[in-house]
Amino acid sequence: MTSSIADVATPTPFADLPFFVKDVQALTSDLVLLDTVPAESLPPDAQPGQFFQILLEGGEVYLRRPFSLVTRLGVVHRFAVRVVGRGTSAIARLRPGDRLRLLGPLGTGFPLAPPGARKLLLLAGGVGAAPLASVLAAVAAGKTAFRTSDVAVVLGIRRSEEAVLARLFRPWAEPLLAVERPSRDAEGRVVPPVAFPGTALDAAFARWQELWPDPVPPEEIAVFVAGPKPMLEAAFRRLPAAARVYGAFEAPMACGTGLCRGCVVETAVGNVRLCREGPVLSREVHFPHLAPREGDAS
């Protein structure tokens, strides 16, 4: 384990800064990539799994909306946004040169060196790929205790057209793709052919032995999960109790900085604010009661 890398992630300083839209790229009918550049100065470096509160200028949407940073390449801050309502629709309509404000980086991200773990499984559901791509970028940049070859990525998507989300993990890794409602060709074969029909969690269990070239005991594996809430809960309930499991949780957020207490969730160590102590929470610390007991079947 690299001693210079902190085991426990902590919130970092944040800034509220003007940005410009550099590009908005439609990935599917309801997914866009948003590239932004600072108008004046750069915010502090984000830890993987941290997020920014994005405020659109022009008054169409008054409250900020939280989004995980996918990558910061040079000065370009990239976000992947699923269109679900007013704020995200307005983001999808942004054009290069439009102004916005970014507040962040906020919250507590994924640990860079989970205790005892020498392999890392990234389990992404849909646009949950965003915070996990930031983990892989940090691994590739040597900012974690893992090497890229230690990391396996499983990406679960609902429809085959969302396979484009795999791009977020390239060029560092090729995710194992799990498609819940896969397209099939005339002969009934799943398209794309590399896809596993089912959920990301099902795919991880079905292919567990193939994720790394050598067998790895569960206590040496960390699993980072990001996706819809039912997926996080299923992962916390089913993944081997000995594995270190961390999930990126979501809740509607107002302030994003720990003041309004609008994002509080109950955990085994009391109420925590998802925007401050989270969004990344640990199964071991926050939800130990969800871990399977020894002998439970997955």
* Minimum CB distance to ligand FES, residue 48 (Å): 20
Nearest to 47 by CA among 261, 279, 286, 283: 279
- Tell me whether residue 66 is exposed, middle or buried, using C-beta atoms within 10 angstroms of its C-beta: 0 to 12, 13 to 18, 19 or more: buried
Nearest to 105 by CA among 77, 126, 81: 77
- Tell me whether residue 145 is exposed, middle or buried, using C-beta atoms within 10 angstroms of its C-beta: 0 to 12, 13 to 18, 19 or more: buried
Binding of residue 265 to ligand FES (CB under 6 A): no
Other C-beta atoms closer than 10 Å to the C-beta of 177 total 23
Task: Report what 260 binds from ligand FES, ligand FAD, none; CB cut-off 5-8 Å by kind.
Answer: ligand FES
Residues touching ligand FES: how many (CB under 6 A)? 12
Name which position in 165, 203, 253, 280 contacts ligand FES (CB under 6 A).
Answer: 253
Name which position in 8, 73, 75, 84 contacts ligand FAD (CB under 6 A).
Answer: 84
Tokens of 206: 């079905």
Binding of residue 130 to ligand FAD (CB under 6 A): yes
Q: Are strands 280-282 and 244-248 parallel, antiparallel or unpaired?
A: antiparallel
Binding of residue 81 to ligand FAD (CB under 6 A): yes
Task: Report what 13 binds from ligand FAD, ligand FES, none; CB cut-off 5-8 Å by kind.
Answer: none
Residue facing ligand FAD at closest CB distance: 85
- Calpha distance 17→41 (Å, rounded): 7
Binding window for ligand FAD (CB under 6 A); candidates: 61-69, 132-140, 144-152, 168-176:
61-69
Binding window for ligand FAD (CB under 6 A); candidates: 168-176, 188-196, 209-217, 244-252:
244-252
As a whole number of Å, the end-to-end CA separation of the chain is 30
Q: Which residues here bind ligand FAD, judged by CB under 6 A?
A: 51, 65-68, 79-82, 84-88, 127, 130, 250-253, 279
Q: Which residues here bind ligand FES, judged by CB under 6 A?
A: 253-256, 258-263, 273, 275
